Amino acid sequence: MLQSKKTKALIAGALVASGAIIGGGYWLIEGRYFEKTDNAYVHSEITRLSPKVSGYVAAVEVHDNQAVKAGDVLLRLDTRDYEATAKKAEAAVQVAQANLEIVQAQIKMQDAMIQSARSQVEAETVEHDHSLKDFERSKDLVKRSAASRRTYDNDKASVQRTRAELHTAQASLLAAERNLDVLSAQQHEAQAEYNRARASFELAKLDLENTVIRAPIDGIVGNRAVRQGQFVGVGTPLLAIVPVQNVWVEANFKETQIEKMHNGQKVSLKVDAYPDAEIIGEVESIAPASGAQFSLLPPENASGNFTKIVQRIPVRIKVPLNSENAQLLPGMSVEVAVDTRMPDPVVAQEPNTPALAAAH
């Protein structure tokens, strides 16, 4: 009996020693190169939708957990108010356009009047010059007693009359040009009013288009909070679209674990929802700061009460896109093991040692 107990103790000791040797050998050969954590979750670029305009929901075209494509109609708002606003804005554009065309027609008419006034000035100038020459000739003839005084007086009166007519024509030309300046200013004002009305019309059409909310991306509808008949305002949360075809894993490693991590290293992923499946991903990037630094209230360690806490560094892990991984959903828990045996190619190429520097 005593011999049997000793035998059992020896066997148990041998098993424990064998297990320790095997475990130590595994750790020495392979296990020590893996950095592991269970503080990891599946993430995705979730798009949360809100309306650009307010109104009552006329129809909801999707239900929870429905797959949608980019451009699919998700819901419609009551369009009656926006249709009326668009029609009113369109009418304002037509009125502004008519006013602009009236001013433009007046400018064309005024241009013609200016041309006519200039021709009149030219004609009066010729007439005045002619009468002035006749007057100078009569004045010379009167001095030599070769013409009567009446001829001289008539020519003098003709000069005065043509001068007055020239001044009148010049004044008419000046008034026409100033009136053109006024019409040009009115044209600028009418053009600005037309542009304003046109912009208001475009905004009204855009608001009308925004009563139809469409899916911006492919994905699955989730967290649908909108119902038919509900009044929604600008920015009201309606629903979310989850692009389940584009997911990644964010693993929060201790700062003491990331020394040998770099982009491109292979990662073993085990999702709690599928314990028998192993997914192979790779390190895509390492966060530039600890998770605590991005929190709403970052820790302030300058105070007298200080307790050292190992910080967590988020590491983004790329997940291959295939049918096996199509069931990975944002929020799922993941166990991560990073194989750190692959050296960093950037560091490997840097001539850090004296021997390498001399070789270069």
The CATH number that applies at residue 66 is 2.40.50.100
Rounded average pLDDT per 10-residue block, the chain, 360 residues: 62 64 54 84 94 96 95 97 96 96 90 86 82 72 68 74 85 85 91 96 97 96 95 95 91 92 92 88 92 78 74 92 74 93 63 44
The answer to whether residues 73 and 85 belong to one domain is no
- Residues 58, 124 within the same domain: no
Query: Do 194 and 182 share a structural domain?
Result: yes
Residue 256 sits in the same domain as residue 314: yes
Q: In angstroms, rounded to a whole number, what is the distance separating the alpha carbons of residues 32 and 315?
A: 19
CATH number at residue 319: 2.40.30.170
Residue 151 lies in a domain: yes
pLDDT of residue 170: 85
Is the torsion defined by CA of 47, 53, 54, 57 positive or negative? Answer: negative
Positions of E strands within the chain? 34-37, 40-44, 47-49, 55-60, 67-68, 73-77, 212-214, 219-222, 231-232, 239-242, 247-254, 266-271, 279-286, 312-318, 334-339
Nearest to 343 by CA among 331, 333, 352: 352
CATH number, domain with residue 188: 1.10.287.620
18 in a domain, yes or no? Answer: no
At residue 355, the pLDDT reads 40
Number of structural domains in the chain: 3
Rounded Cα distance, 329 and 271, in Å: 10
Hey, which residues does 231 pair with through a beta bridge? Answer: 56
Flag whether 24 is in a domain.
no
171 with 141, same domain: the answer is yes
Whether residue 70 is found in the same domain as residue 85: no
Q: Does residue 188 form part of some domain?
A: yes
Same domain, 248 and 349: yes
Same domain, yes or no: 316 and 263: yes
Q: Is 15 domain-assigned? A: no
Short-list 212, 229, 202, CA closest to 75: 212
Residues 85 and 202 in one domain: yes
Three-state SS for 243? coil
Position 67 in a domain: yes
Task: Quote the CA–CA distance of 107 and 101 in Å, as a whole number.
Answer: 10
Residues 102 and 40 both lie in one domain: no
Distance between CA 221 and CA 165 in Å, rounded?
A: 85
Per-residue confidence (pLDDT) for residue 204, from 0 to 100? 97
The Cα 317–Cα 248 span in angstroms is: 6
At residue 359, the pLDDT reads 39
Tell me the residue range of the domain where 231 lies. Answer: 51-78+217-237
One domain for residues 351 and 279: yes
User: Does 341 reside within a domain?
Assistant: yes
Q: For residue 360, how many C-alpha atoms fall within 13 Å in the half-sphere facing its CB?
A: 8
Domain-located, residue 72: yes
Q: Are residues 187 and 306 in the same domain?
A: no
pLDDT at 161: 84
Which pLDDT score is estimated for 26? 47
